[in-house]
Amino acid sequence: MSEKQEFTFFENVERSFDKAAKFTKWDLGVLEQIKACNSVYRMRFPIKRDNGTIEVIEAYRVQHSHHKSPCKGGIRFSDEVNQDEVMALASLMTYKCAIVNVPFGGGKGGIKINPRNYSPYELEKITRRYTSELVKKNFIGPGIDVPAPDYGTGEREMAWIVDTYTSLKPGEIDAAGCVTGKPVTQGGVRGRKEATGLGVFYGIREVCNMPEVMKKLGLSTGIEGKSVIVQGLGNVGYHSAKFFREHGAKVIALAEYEGAIFNAAGLNEHEVFLHRQKTGSILDFPGATNLAKNTDALEMECDILIPAALESVITKENADRVKAKIIGEAANGPCTPDADEIFLKKNILCVPDMYLNAGGVTVSYFEWLKNLSHVRYGRMEKRFTENLNGKIINEIESLTGKKVGAEEKAIILHGADEVDLVHSGLEETMIAATREIMDIWLNNDDIPDMRTAAYVSAINKVATSYAELGIFP
């Protein structure tokens, strides 16, 4: 029997939770409340296909925790969607938000369809109907529950959601905050698209900058020169590969559902992306070698492995064949608890999803704040900063009699744009979270791995929130 049959995704999340809970001081009842999903909404609704037939759509929205409001979590379109998966992902969102100090409760949504099998018009009808069902049951709103993109969805779907919500809630001044990941023209924030991949890079970079951790793994400090393999060339995988490559790492293999490619000299993710757009596949990319199976990429020798696709791709069945020194979980739940036990024996550092892929929700938080404040980041201070820096440069040139070079002058004069501030906030968030988790792990010899330390951090923060509300003593 395979591991997927033995334990469901939600059960695996609970297993990791229970593993960490024994390292906390909280009462069993408190821990059970934190672990439980508070609200589960399962719905069915009909849509008319382009060919005139009627199809009944299955969909979900789960609110895992109300210790903070609103709840927050993506909506995925996948024919693998089921209640257990959505509950697991909502749970991870609670812990993720707590770890990176984003004041949301965890939520998640899913529609059981393969978006490739539907026309854009059919997808719009499904998305809008799903939104109206959420509105009916008070499962969406800027102060209630705020969805975002996930697997199979993006800016387009988020624009449909905010438009539907606004039409059903006329006059609600903060309506744009009902969903994040929107196009910038519809109230989105610059920097959201690349946020999860950039957050993965910031988190792994911070780990690689810790000499004592790298020494244990037999690696040099820093990102530069390290070999990287990325599974998944969607939004998260693409941007993860991009930032690693741009900062001196070598992306030696890329994998997608149709196969995987390898080039020891390194791959450019954008060139591979264009090749896939043109041919429909990453295979047969010029200069690269095709691998027999897409899962072969997971088992190749490298310094850093980034699984950025779906859950449970590394299990007890294949974990022993993984040769990476560091695994960065860009996807949700790509490694199972049994795989973690094997990594421990092999001295492989698994940097857990529950904080590493928090870049999306962190920048979603910035977008939500932007929607509530009704002002673009940088608008108030950009020109003031540039004018002030200009005066400082003039004063320096006057006092020294030397001219500042044009390139240096442009850098000094630059006032922060929205994307600069968003990236800065994300970098601070990921660095702080990495250091906090590492501090818990490295200062407690009984905590076996980084994932358990991350859960300890999350449990303590959520339990403290409940205690401060007076719900628990």
Q: Please name the amino acid found at residue 414.
A: H
Return the pLDDT at 2: 44
* Average pLDDT over the chain, rounded to an integer: 94
Return the pLDDT at 348: 96
Q: What is the rounded distance in angstroms from the CA atom of residue 472 to the CA atom of residue 248?
A: 49
Query: Which pLDDT tens digit goes with each residue over 228-277?
Result: 999 999 899 999 999 999 999 999 999 998 999 999 999 999 999 999 99
Widest distance between CA atoms in the chain:
79
Is the pLDDT confidence value at 25 over 70? yes
Q: What is the rounded distance in angstroms from the CA atom of residue 81 to the CA atom of residue 31?
A: 27
Q: What is the mean pLDDT of residues 147-152?
A: 92
Return the pLDDT at 295: 86
pTM of the model: 0.91
Is the pLDDT confidence value at 206 over 60? yes
CB count within 10 Å of CB 249 equals: 24
Return the pLDDT at 467: 81
**Which domains are seen in the chain, by residue range?**
33-186 (3.40.50.10860), 195-356 (3.40.50.720), 388-415 (no CATH)
Q: List the beta bridge partners of residue 149.
A: 75
Is the pLDDT confidence value at 473 over 60? no
Q: Which two tokens stand for residue 263?
A: 């080039």
Return the pLDDT at 452: 95
Q: DSSP character for 83?
A: H
Q: What is the mean pLDDT of residues 99-121?
A: 97
Query: Which pLDDT tens digit goes with each residue over 275-313?
Result: 999 999 999 999 999 998 888 999 999 999 999 987 888
Q: What is the mean pLDDT of residues 196-225?
A: 96
Q: What is the rounded distance in angstroms from the CA atom of residue 306 to the CA atom of residue 328?
A: 5
Q: What is the mean pLDDT of residues 299-328?
A: 93
Q: Which of 313, 198, 302 is nearest to 251 (CA)?
A: 302
Active-site positions?
Answer: 108
